[in-house]
Amino acid sequence: MPGALRRHPLLPALLLALLLPALLFPEAWLAGGVVSADDHLSVHSAFAATSEEEAPGGVRHPHLSDPALQFAALRLRTVQGLAAGRAPLWNPDLFGGAPLLADMSSQPLSPVTLLRLVAPEDLAQDLGVAWILAWTALGSALLVRRLGAGPWGAAVAVAAAGTAPYTHAWLLHPQAATFAWVPWLCWAVERSRGIAVALCVAGLVAGGHPGSISNGLALAAGWWLLRRRDAAGPLGLALGLLLSAPLWAPFVELLRQSTDLAHRRGNTLAPVQLLDLLWPGWLGHPARNDWTGQGMAWIDGQLHPGLATLGLALAALRSRAGRGLWAAWALAVGVALVGVPGPGNHARLASEAAWLLALAAGLALPRHARWKGGGAAVLAVLLTGAWARRDDQGVLPAERHDPPPAAWVTALRAEVGCDPPDGPRCGRVLGLAHALQPDLPTRLGLRDLRGYDLPVAAHTEQLMAALDPRLVRPWFPVQDPPPAPLLDLAGVRALVSPWPIAARADLVPWDQPAPDAVYLRPSAAPRAWLAPAPRAASSPEQALAMAATGSLDRPPVEGLPGAWPHSGEITPLSPHEPAPEQVELEVAPPAPAVLVLADAWAPGWQVEVDGRPAPLLRVAGAFRGVQVGPGDRRVVFRYQPAGWTTGLRLGGLGLFLLVVAALWRRPASISSR
């Protein structure tokens, strides 16, 4: 064994990193389970059976719903776009339509998404978890070796990083897939490898969580300031940002349209949550139903790195590198407690910084530690770390991951769904209160007029405020049925409510059995129509107000050109949607009219009439339209936001510079021989 370690010093760390997923989640890898939070679906009527005997079990971890609802929905649309060979720019399922790539959470180039292009959903889910754990652990092992740890110290770092609180608490969120690149980025900075820094920065951005990206870059910047201060770090950072521009440039564009930053404030860690450092779950845990509710959220207070990790990290104080890691940890915890000016989740810095203690633990062992002492330390770190994180994630039987919707949802999808998207019944649904929780309809094959998606553009919030003036971010609940004319314009063909709705002429009770009250809307507009007598509106706000009392033949249009008659019949149209980013229509109006498409208006949408660009009209303050003259016309709506175009150009420049940098290094390497 000593000889093997001299020849392959990373062998224990590599083997442990590869085995880590099976050691932490044996039910998934040995018993066919899936690391999943989809047990949350069992409490939603859209997945629950109509009889209690057939209903699946309850929820193990009540605070872990986002992976099952929001992120699974975004990933579904993203994978569909990638599988079709196109950039997933637009999501037709939320808010009547919303940017997809620009929300950053869709993770189109993260391994957790790409794995779903080549593996079945169940296997891809577990492989994504395995990649996060192994990648975080291996990067930590390489980094701690550069700091002077021996083979068994690197293995300790694998065990400690693989059971770190931030990684485990956020394992099924984009946060963990983003943070997995931080050890590699710091290692590249430590090695002064500009190209490696660039690739790691691009991987960090591909993770898909803006807060974790900024915190990861801050950690790497601090590492560079304290350890290197050479040109490789800044040059690699600039190159990495260029390479990843197609991912972040659309996000920046959407952020500029959003009110999100104005309504978000940086939160801080409650001092009482520091007790978690002393003992895991000191304040309880939601999965055990004993969490005391201290602080902003349980997940931000997960700080304990494991008893053995903590003990070894304390022992590392005798080394200069160990003291430096502890100082960086203390600074991060201080920022988490006090905060800094501006928006952001400062509380999470303390949980992220626990990874620094994992590195310190790896430095505690003597560089030439024997296998008995090293193996015992690795085992202690692994056992105490796994015990500390035992409640964070769960393993479900395969049949409970990604379950099919309930029978009544399948029937409703046949009635009003958009599969195919150019079907004659294609329309939207609107869930009131907690019925059909926002983002959930995407998993059901339905399109919703609500959504839960950050950041949200200002024009989307205007529509949400028209649906329910009691605007509550970020869920945008709708408590009461909105006015019928607005629902007509939005193409809402069904309302789902947790309680019966008072009789209304436009709402017809559905004759199918369902746990919720379902109402069909025969008066809803077709998805597209020709409006012969539109009305002029001076602003989106005025147009939305007019839409609440308007009619389909006279929709309010902002900046409407020319004079128009005061009456006429609408002409229903059948749009063809080859992709969410493109909608095509063939029309033949007998007189000038406004073609109305009941899909969300947003910057980046363009329209052509007979192959020529035409002004895009904003109808009813929220939907798209274009003026068409008499005769046969072909109309094409396309979505190509400026951020995507700019991002592609910057990404192409980054790729060119990356090739130049690689070729520049190659001749130097050859000549040095």
pLDDT-based confidence at 50, cuts 50/70/90? very low
Structure tokens at 320: 């200069």
Per-residue confidence (pLDDT) for residue 374, from 0 to 100: 86
- Let me know: does 413 contact 419? Beta carbons within 8 Å: yes
Task: Tell me the H-state helices in 99-150.
Answer: 111-114, 121-146
Per-residue confidence (pLDDT) for residue 524, from 0 to 100: 82
Please write the tens of the pLDDT for every residue from 224-237: 998 888 999 999 99
Per-residue confidence (pLDDT) for residue 243, from 0 to 100: 97
Q: What is the DSSP letter of 283?
A: T
| Beta strands 556-558; 535-537: pairing state | parallel
Q: Pick the residue with more confidence: 267 or 671? A: 267
Cβ neighbors of 169 (< 8 A, separation 6 or more) are 299, 302, 351, 389, 392
Q: How far apart are CA 639 and CA 656, in angstroms?
A: 27
Q: Helix (H, G, I), strand (E, B), or coil: what is residue 150?
A: coil
pLDDT-based confidence at 66, cuts 50/70/90? very high
Q: Which residues of 26-35 are buried (b: 16+ CB within 10 A; e: fewer)?
A: eebbeeebbb
Peptide bond between residue 613 and the one before it cis (omega within 30 degrees of 0): no
Question: Comparing C-alpha atoms, which of 583, 652, 637 is closest to residue 607?
Answer: 637
Q: Helix (H, G, I), strand (E, B), or coil: what is residue 650?
A: helix
Is residue 76 over pLDDT 50?
A: yes
pLDDT-based confidence at 474, cuts 50/70/90? confident
Per-residue confidence (pLDDT) for residue 264, from 0 to 100: 63
Please write the tens of the pLDDT for every residue from 329-384: 999 999 999 887 766 778 889 999 999 999 999 999 988 877 788 889 999 999 99
Per-residue confidence (pLDDT) for residue 45, from 0 to 100: 87
- Let me know: does 351 contact 302? Beta carbons within 8 Å: yes
| Beta strands 612-614; 535-537: pairing state | unpaired
- Let me know: does 264 contact 343? Beta carbons within 8 Å: yes
- Let me know: does 204 contact 182? Beta carbons within 8 Å: yes
The predicted model gives 109-123 an average pLDDT of 96
- Amino acid residing at 253: E
pLDDT-based confidence at 55, cuts 50/70/90? very low
User: CA torsion angle for 196, 202, 204, 205 (degrees, to 10)?
Assistant: 170
DSSP bridge partners of 90: 99
Q: How far apart are CA 404 and CA 534, in angstroms?
A: 43
* Residue whose structure tokens are 């947003």: 602
Q: How far apart are CA 670 and CA 394, in angstroms?
A: 51
- Let me know: does 105 contact 98? Beta carbons within 8 Å: no
- Number of other residues whose CB lies within 10 A of the CB of residue 551: 16
Question: Comparing C-alpha atoms, which of 401, 385, 370 is closest to residue 120?
Answer: 401
Structure tokens at 17: 């990193």
Q: How far apart are CA 481 and CA 479, in angstroms?
A: 7
Q: How far apart are CA 546 and CA 568, in angstroms?
A: 18
- Let me know: does 556 contact 617? Beta carbons within 8 Å: no
Per-residue confidence (pLDDT) for residue 52, from 0 to 100: 46
Per-residue confidence (pLDDT) for residue 222, from 0 to 100: 92
The predicted model gives 439-456 an average pLDDT of 87
Is residue 53 over pLDDT 60?
A: no
- Number of other residues whose CB lies within 10 A of the CB of residue 673: 4
Question: Comparing C-alpha atoms, which of 582, 576, 566, 572 is closest to residue 639?
Answer: 582
User: CA torsion angle for 313, 316, 321, 327 (degrees, to 10)?
Assistant: 50
Q: How far apart are CA 279 and CA 76, in angstroms?
A: 38
Please write the tens of the pLDDT for every residue from 235-293: 999 999 999 999 999 999 999 998 766 666 668 888 999 999 989 989 999 999 888 87
Q: How far apart are CA 636 and CA 122, in angstroms?
A: 38
Question: Which range among 3-12, 411-420, 530-539, 554-563 has the greatest average pLDDT?
Answer: 530-539
Q: How far apart are CA 662 and CA 405, in angstroms?
A: 50
pTM of structure: 0.94
Q: What is the DSSP letter of 69?
A: I
Q: Check the CA dihedral 357-359-362-363 and report its sign.
A: negative
The predicted model gives 616-638 an average pLDDT of 95
Helices and strands counted in the chain (H then E)? 25, 20
Is residue 313 over pLDDT 60?
A: yes
The predicted model gives 523-531 an average pLDDT of 89
327: left (phi over 0), alpha (psi -120 to 50) or beta: alpha
Q: How far apart are CA 466 and CA 623, in angstroms?
A: 13
| Percent of the chain scoring above 70 in pLDDT | 95
Q: How far apart are CA 124 and CA 113, in angstroms?
A: 8
- Amino acid residing at 122: D
Please write the tens of the pLDDT for every residue from 158-202: 999 999 999 999 999 999 999 999 999 999 999 999 999 999 999
- Let me know: does 287 contact 245? Beta carbons within 8 Å: no
Per-residue confidence (pLDDT) for residue 51, from 0 to 100: 42
Per-residue confidence (pLDDT) for residue 1, from 0 to 100: 53
- Let me know: does 342 contact 289? Beta carbons within 8 Å: no
Question: Comparing C-alpha atoms, which of 309, 194, 107 is closest to residue 658?
Answer: 194
Structure tokens at 3: 């000889």
- Let me know: does 126 contact 34? Beta carbons within 8 Å: yes
Q: How far apart are CA 159 and CA 137, in angstroms?
A: 7
Please write the tens of the pLDDT for every residue from 569-591: 899 999 999 999 999 999 999 99
